[in-house]
């Protein structure tokens, strides 16, 4: 199963197209921009508490049959946090001191 490649940052709603180098995901595919991960979330996913990794770039060219953005289209469904900025800040403050591999 391919990653959804969600089209936006869940925090600030910045567009994150499939080729975005600043897209970050957690293990549940929660998607945020690098700026929000670094300056607001401090590498803490506000949805699950996990850490983030750079989202891989899906090839736009079909190098192998059926494997590219035109054959496995990215999601067009925009996702937004269900928590307020204050809720996120409180949650992140309590979790960011724990290394992601120990959460």
Provide the domain limits for residue 45. 1-88
5 located within any domain: yes
Give residue-wise pLDDT tens across range 38-64.
999 999 999 999 999 999 999 999 999
Number of helices (H) and strands (E) in the chain: give both, helices first. Answer: 2, 3
Q: Which CATH number does the domain housing residue 5 bear?
A: 3.30.40
Which pLDDT does position 61 carry in this prediction?
93
96 located within any domain: no
95 located within any domain: no
User: Model confidence at 4, in pLDDT bands (50, 70, 90)?
Assistant: very high
The Cα 89–Cα 98 span in angstroms is 15
101 located within any domain: no
pLDDT of 89 higher than 80 = yes
Which pLDDT does position 1 carry in this prediction?
76
103 located within any domain: no
Determine what percent of the chain is predicted with pLDDT higher than 90: 95
12 located within any domain: yes
94 located within any domain: no
Number of domains into which the chain is organized: 1
User: Model confidence at 19, in pLDDT bands (50, 70, 90)?
Assistant: very high
102 located within any domain: no
State the sign of the Cα–Cα–Cα–Cα dihedral 75, 44, 38, 10. positive
User: Model confidence at 2, in pLDDT bands (50, 70, 90)?
Assistant: confident
Which pLDDT does position 93 carry in this prediction?
97
């Amino acid at each position: 199963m391919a990653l959804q490649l969600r089209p936006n940052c869940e925090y600030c709603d910045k567009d994150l197209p499939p080729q975005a180098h600043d897209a970050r995901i957690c293990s549940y595919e929660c998607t945020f921009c690098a700026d929000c991960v670094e300056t607001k979330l401090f590498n803490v996913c506000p949805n699950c508490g996990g850490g983030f990794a750079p989202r891989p770039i899906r090839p736009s060219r079909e190098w192998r049959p059926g494997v590219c953005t035109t054959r496995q289209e990215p999601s067009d469904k925009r996702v937004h946090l269900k928590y307020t900025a204050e809720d996120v800040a409180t949650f992140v403050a309590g979790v960011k001191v724990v290394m992601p591999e120990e959460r």
